[in-house]
Every structure is written in C-alpha cells, then in structure tokens.
Amino acid sequence: MASDIIKMDVLNESEIDEPLDAQIREFLCRLFPNWESVFKTRRAWHDAPPVFTAIARDERGDIAGHVAVVERTITTNWNFRYLVASVQGVSVDEPYRKTGLSVRLLNVALDEARKRKYPFAILFCREPLVHFYERNGWKLPDDSMIMWRDRELPIHMQSNCPMYRELTDEPFPEGPIDVHNPL
Ligand SMILES: CC(C)(COP(=O)(O)OP(=O)(O)OC[C@H]1O[C@@H](n2cnc3c(N)ncnc32)[C@H](O)[C@@H]1OP(=O)(O)O)[C@@H](O)C(=O)NCCC(=O)NCCS
C-alpha cells in the first residue's frame, strides 16, 4: 500500500537546504496551483518562514505530503497575547489521498507544536474543507478571527474559514481574535 513506504520527518528551517527547498516549492506549486506566484519563491505566506515543516517522502525521496507551521501572535479582546502554531500548506499528493497520510502529518505537526509549548494551533481553510478538519478535532471559533498585515490593514484571506486546536488544557480564548506575525 502506498502509505507503507512513507518516511516522515519534522525539519527545522536550518535542515532545509536549497535543493530540498526547491523540491518542496515545486510540490506546493503543483498542489496549490492558485498560489504558484507565492511558492515559486518561498514556502509560506505573509512574510513568516516556517518554524518547522513536517514532510512525508516515498522511498525515492519524492514528496508525498507536506504540512508547515509558522509562528503567529494572536491577541484577544482582553489584550492577552499568545504565540501560536499556525498550520499551513496541508497537502498530500493524489496517489496518497484517502490513506490517512494527511491526518498522520497533521498529528506529527501538532505533536511537535506541543513539544515546542505552543498553547494553540490555528489554520485558515476554505469552506469545503471545514468538515475534514472538524473530523480531525479542529474547531471553528465562535467569534471572528482576523489576520492583519499590520495593525491597521486586514488581509483578505482566500482561505477564509479560521479554525483552532487547543494543545494544552488551556481553553481557546473567547471573543474576537486578531492574528499577526510575531509582534
Ligand atoms: C486536503 C488534503 C490534504 C486531504 O487529503 P486526504 O486526507 O487524503 O483526504 P481527501 O483528499 O479525501 O480530502 C478530505 C476531504 O476534503 C475534501 N477536499 C480535499 N481537497 C479539496 C479541495 N481542494 N476543495 C474542496 N474539497 C476538498 C475532500 O472532498 C474530502 O471530503 P470528504 O472526506 O467529505 O469526502 C488533500 O485533499 C490535498 O492535498 N488537497 C490539495 C491541497 C489543499 O487544498 N489543501 C488544503 C489546505 S487548507
């Protein structure tokens, strides 16, 4: 079975050399054709390089699946701030779909985020994928969660459904949430 031959790694940025960077970007361009303009030059959106990347490769070293985690700051209505693990670029190549690989990759990324003491993980997805993430323990916040370019300019997200996961016993804050690059 396709998933039996998969090798899974969690890589820090320092472990991703130029050829691997190019290989991952080529994979992301193929899996996210609408975002080719971004992935042609970098592996993440909005000027935040990943803090780590979970990657699945087959026995030839070809990429089968990918999840990146970048760091963001969330600010609550009460002005509490948290550094959170922002999950992005969740992608599994066609032959490996419906094999559980995406869930394994997400779990590896969330375990790593827990080890690194992030209290919460967040992501932004498109509406058709909400059920997929809900089935895997992600939740929709009750209030708005808005990504900001700077303190004044909200980013229009094509993936406009924000979701979160609690990584410790601490409950996700109530009320509207602002999301920034680390402040
Ligand atoms: C999302 C993804 C990793 C899930 O892989 P998987 O676990 O093997 O599962 P599937 O491909 O069967 O997709 C899971 C569900 O999401 C839906 N889905 C997946 N990609 C979708 C897309 N581009 N648009 C709409 N729905 C999509 C599937 O229809 C499926 O729904 P169902 O389980 O209710 O039938 C994989 O489909 C993928 O790589 N897609 C392209 C990249 C992408 O859009 N990533 C999401 C970033 S938030």
Query: Over the chain, what is the mean pLDDT?
Result: 92
Instruction: Say yes or no: CB of residue 64 within 6 Å of ligand 1.
Output: no
- CB-CB neighbours of 104 under 10 Å: 18
Q: What is the pLDDT of residues 110-146, one digit of tens each?
A: 999 999 999 999 999 999 999 999 999 999 999 888 8
How many whole angstroms from 151 Cα to the centroid of ligand 1? Answer: 33
Q: What is the pLDDT of residues 68-121, one digit of tens each?
A: 999 999 999 888 999 999 999 999 999 999 999 999 999 999 999 999 999 999
Q: Is beta strand 177-180 parallel, antiparallel or unpaired with respect to 145-147?
A: parallel
How many whole angstroms from 176 Cα to the centroid of ligand 1? Answer: 28
pLDDT score, position 17 = 96
Ligand 1 pocket test, pick from 93, 97, 131 with the greatest ligand atom count within 8 Å of Cβ, gives 97
How many whole angstroms from 129 Cα to the centroid of ligand 1? Answer: 6
**What's the whole-model pTM score?**
0.91
Q: What is the pLDDT of residues 19-45, one digit of tens each?
A: 999 999 999 999 999 999 999 999 988
In order of 36, 61, 104, 131, 175, the CA distances from 91 in angstroms are 14, 16, 12, 16, 30
Instruction: Say yes or no: CB of residue 98 within 6 Å of ligand 1.
Output: yes
pLDDT score, position 167 = 98
pLDDT score, position 1 = 53
- For residue 89, give the ligand 1 atom closest to its CA: 47
Q: Which domains does the chain have, with CATH numbers?
A: 2-180 (3.40.630.30)
